[in-house]
A and B are shown apart, each in its own frame.
Chain A
């Protein structure tokens, strides 16, 4: 199985600040995604991280709030900007291997609390 490591695993941040979450995947992964999950709840896709170009955002998510970079095949970052308590959630990085669309791998998640 593909290996995905994500950091930080958790953080407590002041409102109005920004946090950047890093995701490193092994070379098997070709597509990368960012999800948000309320504890014990479903996952919501934020965006698809595209290598060397702007991410593709889902409805309800915008680049100014959640800028995403993917400078190479195996690394991506998600920034949560100008945070408010409503941004408190678990953020998950995910990847799919080339040609194996039916299997998604996930990082351990970043639990963010905004105070």
Chain B
């Protein structure tokens, strides 16, 4: 069974603070994706990382894929209340599985207080 361990599970911070969410696995994935989900909505893709060691930036969000393609992190700089939501990491193609099958982490519920 492929598992993606995501931490922390809950995070409540003040506006302007920085934070990092981690996603770790014992499996190697062909790609890893980060999604954000708001209440009553489906997850929305933020970024896909494919290459080991890859770093991608999306405004105040920085995503990193580990060299061994087993782990990833999401760093948010100067968090804003609009960043509030459930952040999910998902790995594709783990343990030689199909690239279209996603294994999701349990999610990090982020609350940014004004």
Are the CB atoms of B45 and A109 closer together than 8 Å?
no
Tell me if A45 is interfacial: C-beta within 8 Å of chain B.
yes
Are the CB atoms of A104 and B41 closer together than 8 Å?
no
Which residues of chain B are within 8 angstroms of A9 by Cβ–Cβ distance?
40
Min distance, Cβ A21 to any Cβ of chain B, angstroms: 13
Task: Tell me the count of chain B residues lying within 8 A, CB to CB, of chain A.
Answer: 23
- Please report which residues of chain A, range 72-115, place their CB below 8 angstroms from some CB of chain B when the two chains form the complex: 92, 94, 96, 101-109, 111
Task: Tell me the count of chain A residues lying within 8 A, CB to CB, of chain B.
Answer: 24
Name the one of A41, A102, A106, A109 contacting B48, with C-beta atoms under 8 angstroms: A102
Are the CB atoms of A43 and B100 closer together than 8 Å?
no
Which residues of chain B are within 8 angstroms of A53 by Cβ–Cβ distance?
none
Tell me if B43 is interfacial: C-beta within 8 Å of chain A.
yes
Which residues of chain A are within 8 angstroms of B31 by Cβ–Cβ distance?
101-102
Are the CB atoms of A42 and B100 closer together than 8 Å?
no
Are the CB atoms of A108 and B109 closer together than 8 Å?
no
- CB closest residue in chain B, given A93: B42
Q: A101-B92, A102-B92, A109-B42 are in contact. Are A42 and B106 (CB under 8 A)?
A: yes
Chain A residues with a Cβ under 8 A of chain B: 4, 6, 9, 31, 40-45, 48, 92, 94, 96, 101-109, 111
Chain B residues with a Cβ under 8 A of chain A: 31, 33, 40-45, 48, 50, 86, 88, 90, 92, 99-102, 104-107, 109
Give 22 A-B contacts (CB < 8 Å), ordered by A residue: A31-B100, A40-B86, A40-B109, A41-B106, A43-B90, A44-B104, A45-B101, A45-B102, A48-B101, A92-B43, A96-B100, A101-B31, A102-B92, A103-B33, A103-B48, A105-B45, A106-B42, A106-B44, A107-B42, A108-B42, A109-B40, A109-B42
